[in-house]
Amino acid sequence: MKSLLVTGGCGFIGSHFIRRYLANHPDCRLQNLDKLTYSGNLQNTQDFKDHKNYQFAEGDVCDSKKVESVVSKADAIVHFAAETHVDRSIESAGDFIATNVEGTRVLLDAARKHQIKRFLHISTDEVYGSVPEGSVTEDAPLKPNSPYAASKAAADLLIRSYRETYGYPIMIARSTNNYGPYQYPEKVIPLFITNLLENKKMPLYSRGENRRDWIFVEDNVRALELILERGEEGRIYNVGGGNDTANIDLARLIARLMGSDEKSIQNVADRPGHDLRYSVDWSRVRALGFQPQTSLEDGLHKTIEWYRSHPAWWQPLKKDKFTLK
């Protein structure tokens, strides 16, 4: 492809994807459309902002005119732009519905109009809801339990309807929990790390029995690049990390790596509708050639060292009840 549009490329995963794609595809022109909401940060793009093939466009995916202007120049689209924090969605779901559902609809209509042939939508394993045992395939029913997960499931179903109604070729990636550098400190791993750096405790929901499969962000964007290039049109791809871990064990590991102990863990009231466990079968993306390269301990070590050495990036971001726990 000659021109790629990335939405939400100033966010955590989107900026990592752009960094990798520019390095691996020196002849591809890449546009980044981002609204620069609270978690969209231009500092995440500083190392590639002057790349000869990179162009930033500030704008909202719900703005049809702006979307039309960038889509008309693209051959392919990777759609990251979304509101993503479960706790914020519980308090106020409106922005999640607007961006995650209506924004996807606006982008789909523009992509159809301009006959974009490769369209990768970035979803989440949270659309499946809690998985008590085993692992779910891409054909499992969607059972979202938070407003965030419901908004992403709605976008996935809208995409399915465009495929069935219009025959529009689109792919969906449903990744497990990402972590790594540049992640906004409302999310559990950067929240725990930055709290310890500030000599504060790590707030752990309930008894920490909830389980997640963690994937280092650089591994995830490798999988997404593979899906974009080799994925079959119309298919869904789960992306896993092979690091199924209870939250209490995650907290203990972070504490150990940072020279602390269990006294740094503070149990707090659980959030409403908290899914106990996520687990996806990711054999489909493995068949494309994907295999995670980073263990949880190694990835956490890299992440801790990044936050330790970049206080100027994260300290100004800790300013509300979601980051000051």
Q: Which residues are catalytic?
A: 125-126, 148
Q: Which two tokens stand for residue 209?
A: 């029995």
Task: Report the alpha-carbon angle 208-38-189, nearest 5.
Answer: 25
> What contacts 42, CB < 8 A, 6 or more positions away?
10, 36, 49, 56
Phi, psi of 216, rounded to the nearest 5 degrees? -65, 135
H-helix or E-strand containing 67?
Answer: helix 64-71
Residues in the chain: 325
Q: What's the CA gap between 150 and 144, in Å, rounded?
A: 5
Q: What's the CA gap between 117 and 234, in Å, rounded?
A: 11
For 118-270, where are the alpha helices, taking DSSP H only? 147-166, 188-197, 217-230, 247-257
- Residues 256-261: contacts with CB under 8 Å, at least 24 apart: 257/297, 257/300, 257/301, 257/304, 258/193, 258/196, 258/197, 258/304, 260/196
Residue 91, number of CB atoms within 10 A of its CB: 10
- Kindly provide the residue ranges of all beta strands, DSSP E only, lying in the chain, ordered along the sequence: 3-7, 29-34, 54-58, 76-79, 118-124, 171-175, 177-179, 202-205, 211-216, 236-239, 244-246, 265-268
For residues 301 and 180, the answer to whether their CB atoms sit within 8 Å is no
Q: Which two tokens stand for residue 300?
A: 């956490």
> What contacts 84, CB < 8 A, 6 or more positions away?
11, 39, 124, 148
- Do the strands 244-246 and 211-216 form a parallel or antiparallel pair, or are they unpaired? antiparallel
